[in-house]
Chain A
């Protein structure tokens, strides 16, 4: 199975900061990567897919990049509502063995 390693596992930042979260796959995944935001007690919310495509309705301060095995999620200017846990997920595996990163908890400094 493809393993997904996210870093950091937790992060403290302030409103207005630029934040980057990294996800590394154990093998190349050809941009088959999604990013999700999850708030306590809520379902995950899709932010980006295909590594860099912004889901409809998601603010443009969220962006994604990367290729091969290494991918990043960037929030350009943190807003109060962005404090949450973020997960990456690869969907490259055939047959499907979709795997998630362990999550990055973004907290207020």
Chain B
């Protein structure tokens, strides 16, 4: 059974940093691209970042570029999101998701339960 479990969320002051983790199990982690998607309270979904299976390709939304860093450790079956210079508008539930490839492209099939990041003084 595919499982994705996020951790590391919490309350942080504006300008602070936080590192999210996503522990994967039930599939060959090193074979899949992965991503982070966030959802502000009461709002819709926003793609944040994606990383290819071998970390060769990394992409960010403009809203987080230069502040967030996605990474992965295939030996530990783990995905990470280092978030620096946090702003109030980064407050959201952060989901990690698996990105299988289809002829139509990379989509997200399995999602974790999410971890809440609150940026407030």
Q: Chain B, 42-60, contact with A by CB distance < 8 Å: what is the 0/1 string? A: 0011110010000000010
Chain B residues with CB under 8 Å of A68's CB are none
The answer to whether B103 and A100 have CB atoms under 8 Å apart is: no
A91 touches B44 (CB 8 A): no
Q: How far is the CB of A26 from chain B (nearest CB, A)?
A: 16
Partner of A98, one of B47, B95, B102, B104: B47
**Residues in B18-69 with C-beta less than 8 Å from chain A:** 35, 37, 44-47, 50, 59, 61-62
Interchain CA distance A46-B17 in the complex, whole Å: 31
Do A87 and B45 contact each other (CB < 8 Å), given the known contacts A50-B102, A92-B105? yes
Q: CB-defined interface of A83-95 with B at 8 Å, one 1/0 digit per residue?
A: 0000101011001
Provide the residues of chain A in CB contact with B95, threshold 8 Å.
43-44
CB-nearest residue of chain B to A42: B113
Mark out the residues of chain B between 86 and 112 whose CB falls within 8 Å of any chain A CB in the assembled complex. 95, 102-112
Docked complex Cα distance between A45 and B35 (Å): 15
Which residue of chain A is the closest to B6 with respect to CB atoms? Answer: A43
Q: Which of A30, A46, A51, A95 has a CB less than 8 Å from the CB of B109? A: A46
Neighbouring A residues of B104 by C-beta, 8 Å: 30-33, 49-51, 91
Cα-based distance from A98 to B49 in the complex (angstroms): 9
Seen from chain B, the residues whose Cβ lies within 8 Å of a Cβ on chain A are: 35, 37, 44-47, 50, 59, 61-62, 95, 102-114
* 20 residue pairs A–B, Cβ–Cβ below 8 Å: A32-B105, A38-B45, A43-B95, A44-B37, A44-B111, A45-B111, A46-B109, A49-B102, A49-B107, A50-B104, A51-B104, A89-B107, A91-B104, A91-B107, A96-B47, A96-B50, A96-B106, A97-B59, A97-B62, A98-B35
